[in-house]
Structure formats: C-alpha cells, structure tokens
Chains A and B, each alone.
Chain A
Amino acid sequence: MKRKIHSLIVEGILFCGSGLALLSYSLTSYANAFNKNWGQSPYLFPLIVSLAMLGLSVWIIGEGILAMKKESGEAVAPQKGSSKQTLWVVTALVLCLVYYGALAVLKLPRITVGILGFSFLFSTFEIVTVLFLVAMMAFLGVRKWTVLVFVPLGTTLFLSIAFRTLLHVLLP
C-alpha cells in the first residue's frame, strides 16, 4: 500500500525552500553591496532569520517523520468533504479577485445626487459592490430575491454614505 507523506514534511520542505531562498538572497545581496561589514549590513538580519527558518524547517520535517512512524500501524480515516470545502474557498477567492479586478479596471462615470443639502457620490465602487454582494450571497446560498436585492443595495448605500460622505474616507 502506498504511504501518504505527512503534511508536516511537506510544510517543512516548503519552509526549508523559503529559508534557502532568503539565505541566498542575503548572501548575494551582501556580496554585491558596497558595505562589507556584516555588523552594519542590512542583510545581517535576513541572514539570521533565514538560518533560523532552516533550523525550524528541519525540526518540522523531523516531527513529520516521527509522526509518520507513529501512524504507520494505525488506520487513518479519510477526511470527508475537504475537497468540497476547498472548492468553496477557491470560488470565494475567484469572486473576490473579479471584484478586485473590476475595481481596478472599470472607470464608470461619477454621479452626484443631492438630497436635503447632502451630496452623495456614486461611482465604480458602488456599482461593482452591489454586483459583488449579490454574487457572493447567491454563492453562499441566499435564495430569497428580496434579500438578494435589498441587502446589497442597502449595504452599499450605507457604506457609501458612512465612509465617503460622513467619514470622508476615500473609496476605490
């Protein structure tokens, strides 16, 4: 039967790689720098951190090997539903990235609405946020159309008025 590598070993290898990358960065940057005094070098601290990271990654790999030896005789139950849960997170991330991309790329005209002496500015953020909220809520299982319409509109209006108009916080 094929034995599965313990996750601690994979994590240890990942951190070992990161430590090695940081170590080589510190050494090459130091070699290329004008100042050759380690005591004053800006690369001293990265060097120490990289060495500590390497030591810790060896520790984690060691723990992984010990855990594998310990588990070798025991039957491990497969984790249920983890791929489905990962898919939820990936989908949520994709939605967030689309939201981020839309905020970065779209340049919609700004509309200022005046009510009772207050002027409310609506632009890309408001439109994109309403669409994002609808998409995210639908993805998270909201099916009532009243909630899907009124909550995004109300939330966006509240955020826009509270942050842009009252708190003078700049919005994307």
Chain B
Amino acid sequence: MSEMGMLSVLDGRFVLMVLLGSVAGLFVGAIPGLSVSMATALLISITYTWEHSDALAMIMGVYVVGVFSGAVSAILINIPGAPSSVVTTLDGYPMAKKGQAYKALYTATIYSFMGSLFGLVALGLLATPVSRVALKFTKMDYFLLALFGLATVGSVSTKNYAKGLISVMLGLVISMIGLDPLMGTKRLTFGIQNLTGGINTVPALVGFFGFAEVLTVIYNRKQEQNVLTMEKSNISLREVLKHWKLSLYMSTIGMLVGALPGAGGPVASFIAYNEAKRLVKQPQVPFGEGAVEGIMASESSNNACIGGALIPMLTLAVPGDAVTAIILSVFYVHGLQPGPMFLTKSPDAFYAILAAGFIACFALLALGLLVAPRICRVITIPKNIMIPVVTCLCVIGAFACNNRLFDVGLMFAFGLIGFLMRRFDYPVAPLILAMVLGKMMDSNFRQAVSLASSADHPFLFTFGHWTTALLLLCTLAVILGNIPWTRPYVEKIRGIFRRR
C-alpha cells in the first residue's frame, strides 16, 4: 500500500467516515425495501461537495457492509435485504427456525468478512496487471469492451435476453441526451434548456433505484413478516472456520463473477451455492434445510464480488454491477478519471478505496458479531412509515446535485419508468450501466470510425489488433449465444472445441 493509503488508514476522519458508512450500510442492507444501490445513489448527492477521500470512504463502508447485511433479514425474516442474499435465505431461515439464528448470523458474518477480504486483496493484486493490458487498448477496444459488458449484463440479469438488450438501448438513449461528447452538438434536447447539459446521473439513479423501489413496495403491499427470536449461544470459531478452504474457492468464484460486467452478487451466490452442493457430498444438515455450507458459499461469494466488480471499474472504467456504476459516477463527479491510467494518475484515490474497503471489512466483522443480532426490531420498521421517509430522501437526493427542481421531476419520471420496467420484467441494471457507459462508447466508436476511414485497409486497421479481435469474438459469442435462433449453432461450435 502506498504512503497515501497508509495515511488514509491512520487518518481518524477517514476511518470515521468508513465507520459511519458501515453503520448506514448495516441498516440499509438489512431493511428490506432499502438497497445498497439506493443508498449509494443518495450518498452521491450528499457527498457532492466533500473531499473525494471522505466520499469514497463513506461509500465503501456502505457498499461492503450493505452487501453483508442483506443476510440479517434473510436469516431472521426470510426476506433478503439485498438481491445477493437471496441464496442465504435457503439455509439461513431454516436454521433460524430451528433456534440457530445466532449461529447462522455468526457464520454469515465470518464468511462475509473472509469473502470481502479476498475480493479486496484480489483487487490490490490484479489492478496493476489489468491496467498494463488496458494501456494497449485502442478506441475500438474500449467500444467493444463496453459493448461486451452490456451484452453480458443483458444476458445475466433477465431470463429474456431481448428485454435485457432493450434495457441497454434505453440507457444508451438517455446517455445521448445533451451535448454530444465530440462536437458539442445538441441531441435529443427538444428545446428544453435544462436538458442541454445532459441527464445528470444522480436524479436518474435515485429515480431508478430509490423511487422505483418506493412504487414497487406500494404495489406489492404485504403484511409484515414475523421476526424470529435470537438467543445468543456459544459457538466455536474453529467449528465455523472448518470450511475455510471451500470458502476460498467460493470467494474465487465470487471475485471472477463480480469482475464480469453486470453479473454481480446474485449470480455469484447462485453459482457458488450449486458448487457447494456438488462438492459437499455429506453435509451435516441437507442443503435447503439449514446447511452451514450453504450460508458459507453464498456469503463468501457475494462479498468477494465487491473487489471483483471494482477491478474493471477502476482499470477499464467499465463497472461490474449497479453499485460500481454509481461509484463510477462518484468518480466523475469528483473529477477523477478511472481507466488504465487511473493507478498512475490518481494512486491516492485507488489506495483510499482499498484502505476504506479493508477498514469496512473489520467494521463488518464487529458490526456483524455485536450489532446485527440486536437489530431485529429495526429491520421491521413498518413499510407504511418507511416509504414516505424514503420518498423525501429521494427528493432531497435529486435536488441536491444541481439545486434545481427540474431534477426532482426527472427523478419522479425515472422512478415511474423503473417501476414499469420491474413490473414487466425489464432489468434496470443494464440501463444504468448503458447510461454510464453511453458517452464513452459513442466517442470511442466515432473516433475509431474516423481513424479507420483514413486508413488503407479500414477493416484490418480497426480489427487487426489482437485485443480487438479477441473482444470482438467474445462480444459476438455472448450475443449469438443468447439469441434463440443462433444458439444451437454456437453450441455446436462449442461442442467441437470441447471434443478437441
């Protein structure tokens, strides 16, 4: 860790910001209806005027602890506080029903801590080599990389690939509103002066994640769940840690899945859970009925995703999930430019993220063991009280970024669109990623086309580089492998390679 990173760890204010973020993350993640994405989106507007190290510290605290704390409500009330904790409910709630809620939470805390640490260590080790490769990227590579990310997120975030891609297109359309990035020409503003500067990311994010959630909760008004009681019991750390080797494997899965744009915690935890079922032949309790191995797999992998998702975000400016897409916009708000040169130009910000992540890991451990067992009452705040308060927070969040009510109106509009998208099974994550990446894709694509038009062999000039060819093949494989009419042919080609 650099001198700057070490200083960050020793700076009391920095540590305090991480701890505040961690406490906020614990509650936000644990309360169903509030999400880490929503909290991060709201935080951008508050941290707008702060030092970037303070802002990053708080956001990392929310991110790391928020991903873990989804397990609290998953175990106690059978409702995952975050999408990545869906798998934790499979064994966590049955354990709680058997009177082992404390053991379930203890296991979730220990393995979330290990998973988060693993992901962050991987981030520290892999960021530099990935940046070195990224330095050789051409304009077309960046376009294809973003396209690959969007094609992947479209495929993993929904059962219907066409809907995932439609969501991507909507995000790209939103990103095109305002001045075009190369020539400064107005596009899609329709004479509205407030749209000239483009759609600000904050009201869009607050709308899609915050207000859309409000409308969804109102639409699905249900009776409150019963909270299972938790009695503290003596648990041997050695017994909990006996799955540490398997946890490392699950964390590796989580880290790799997290690095794939769009996949994120939910996908990682499902894959890890299936792997655990395959590898652990004779669990003490069958999977789905309260197996500790199930909680270990889910929590190790979804927390390792954090570090994994940050690798492409910091080194390639391609976010791995919705939260990292929001963190990417925090970087832009604070004038930081993620990408291959990020580690060279802004090492302080990189090490601040790492330091904040590591501090948040220890905060997770402390909060998970000491505070989480005591917040049963808080996670069941009636939704009819919580929802109006969240709406007010959305209004403040949307207004604060530019101090104009126009953004509040935009937030409501995006919230309605986000609600309708959820209602009709259109995933929101691809839209957000496309919205964040749209301008970069537009400018890189047009620059690549302009450069190619002056070359002797335009096609070879554009796709002749090995990284470009590889990215093009990967992108085509993802797209064609997901289209129903072309999928059989792609499978045939895969079969040929497998036989060889």
* Docked pose: A104 CA to B382 CA in angstroms: 30
Give every chain A residue within 8 A of B221 (Cβ-Cβ). Answer: 85, 88, 140
In B157-177, the 8 Å CB interface with A consists of: 160, 162-163, 165-166, 169, 172-173, 176
* Docked pose: A40 CA to B451 CA in angstroms: 10
Which of B45, B166, B188, B215 meets A53, CB within 8 Å?
Answer: B166
- A171 within 8 Å of B (CB atoms): yes
In B402-427, the 8 Å CB interface with A consists of: 403, 405, 408-409, 412, 416, 419, 424
The reply to whether B385 and A147 contact each other, CB–CB distance below 8 Å, is: yes
The reply to whether B449 and A39 contact each other, CB–CB distance below 8 Å, is: yes
Interface string of B377-410 (1 = CB under 8 A from A): 0000011110111011101100110010100110
The reply to whether B218 and A89 contact each other, CB–CB distance below 8 Å, is: yes
Which of B388, B399, B419 meets A171, CB within 8 Å?
Answer: B399
Range for the number of chain A residues in contact with chain B? 35 or more
Give every chain A residue within 8 A of B45 (Cβ-Cβ). Answer: 169
The reply to whether A133 and B419 contact each other, CB–CB distance below 8 Å, is: no
In A109-124, the 8 Å CB interface with B consists of: none
| A22-B403 contact, Cβ under 8 Å, with A39-B449, A93-B416, A96-B391 | no
The reply to whether A96 and B387 contact each other, CB–CB distance below 8 Å, is: no
Which of B166, B187, B214, B219 meets A56, CB within 8 Å?
Answer: B166
Distance to closest chain B CB from A88 (angstroms)? 5
| A140-B173 contact, Cβ under 8 Å, with A39-B450, A100-B409, A167-B46 | no
Give every chain A residue within 8 A of B162 (Cβ-Cβ). Answer: 56, 59-60, 63
Interface string of A1-24 (1 = CB under 8 A from B): 000000100010001001000100
* Docked pose: A151 CA to B388 CA in angstroms: 10
* Docked pose: A100 CA to B394 CA in angstroms: 12
In A60-94, the 8 Å CB interface with B consists of: 60, 63, 85-86, 88-89, 92-93
Interface string of B67-78 (1 = CB under 8 A from A): 000000000000
Distance to closest chain B CB from A161 (angstroms)? 13
The reply to whether B385 and A89 contact each other, CB–CB distance below 8 Å, is: no
In B177-198, the 8 Å CB interface with A consists of: 180, 182-183, 185, 187-188
Give every chain B residue within 8 A of A86 (Cβ-Cβ). Answer: 219
The reply to whether B395 and A88 contact each other, CB–CB distance below 8 Å, is: no
- A107 within 8 Å of B (CB atoms): no
Which of B46, B387, B424, B441 meets A136, CB within 8 Å?
Answer: B387
The reply to whether A155 and B389 contact each other, CB–CB distance below 8 Å, is: yes
Give every chain B residue within 8 A of A147 (Cβ-Cβ). Answer: 385
Which of B215, B382, B396, B424 meets A7, CB within 8 Å?
Answer: B424
Give every chain B residue within 8 A of A155 (Cβ-Cβ). Answer: 389, 392
- A142 within 8 Å of B (CB atoms): yes
Give every chain B residue within 8 A of A100 (Cβ-Cβ). Answer: 395, 405, 408-409, 412
* Docked pose: A169 CA to B183 CA in angstroms: 34
Cβ-closest chain A residue relative to B448: A39
* Docked pose: A41 CA to B46 CA in angstroms: 37
Give every chain B residue within 8 A of A42 (Cβ-Cβ). Answer: 180, 182-183, 185, 187
The reply to whether B403 and A89 contact each other, CB–CB distance below 8 Å, is: no
Which of B173, B183, B391, B396 meets A49, CB within 8 Å?
Answer: B173
| A92-B403 contact, Cβ under 8 Å, with A49-B169, A53-B166 | no
Give every chain B residue within 8 A of A103 (Cβ-Cβ). Answer: 395, 405, 408
Range for the number of chain B residues in contact with chain A? 35 or more
| A89-B219 contact, Cβ under 8 Å, with A136-B387, A137-B388, A159-B396 | yes
The reply to whether B160 and A96 contact each other, CB–CB distance below 8 Å, is: no
The reply to whether B391 and A63 contact each other, CB–CB distance below 8 Å, is: no
* Docked pose: A165 CA to B187 CA in angstroms: 39
The reply to whether A169 and B388 contact each other, CB–CB distance below 8 Å, is: no
Cβ-closest chain A residue relative to B398: A172
The reply to whether A49 and B172 contact each other, CB–CB distance below 8 Å, is: yes
Give every chain A residue within 8 A of B399 (Cβ-Cβ). Answer: 170-172
* Docked pose: A59 CA to B484 CA in angstroms: 10
Cβ-closest chain A residue relative to B169: A53
- B446 within 8 Å of A (CB atoms): yes
Distance to closest chain B CB from A96 (angstroms)? 6
Most buried by B among A11, A45, A88: A45
Give every chain A residue within 8 A of B388 (Cβ-Cβ). Answer: 132-133, 136-137, 140, 152
Distance to closest chain A CB from B278 (angstroms)? 33
The reply to whether B412 and A85 contact each other, CB–CB distance below 8 Å, is: no
The reply to whether B408 and A142 contact each other, CB–CB distance below 8 Å, is: no
| A171-B396 contact, Cβ under 8 Å, with A39-B449, A45-B176, A89-B219 | yes
* Docked pose: A130 CA to B453 CA in angstroms: 61
Give every chain A residue within 8 A of B395 (Cβ-Cβ). Answer: 99-100, 103, 172
- B346 within 8 Å of A (CB atoms): no
* Docked pose: A169 CA to B400 CA in angstroms: 6
* Docked pose: A131 CA to B265 CA in angstroms: 39
* Docked pose: A168 CA to B408 CA in angstroms: 19
* Docked pose: A137 CA to B173 CA in angstroms: 36
Give every chain A residue within 8 A of B463 (Cβ-Cβ). Answer: none
* Docked pose: A137 CA to B400 CA in angstroms: 24
Give every chain B residue within 8 A of A136 (Cβ-Cβ). Answer: 387-388, 391
Distance to closest chain A CB from B279 (angstroms)? 37
* Docked pose: A59 CA to B104 CA in angstroms: 45
- B289 within 8 Å of A (CB atoms): no
The reply to whether B46 and A85 contact each other, CB–CB distance below 8 Å, is: no
Give every chain B residue within 8 A of A149 (Cβ-Cβ). Answer: none
The reply to whether B169 and A52 contact each other, CB–CB distance below 8 Å, is: yes
Would you list 8 pairs from A and B whose C-beta atoms are within 8 A, ordered by A residue? Answer: A42-B185, A46-B176, A53-B166, A85-B219, A89-B215, A140-B388, A169-B400, A170-B400
Residues of B within 8 A of A (CB): 45-46, 49, 160, 162-163, 165-166, 169, 172-173, 176, 180, 182-183, 185, 187-188, 211, 214-215, 218-221, 382-385, 387-389, 391-393, 395-396, 399-400, 403, 405, 408-409, 412, 416, 419, 424, 441-442, 445-446, 449-450, 453
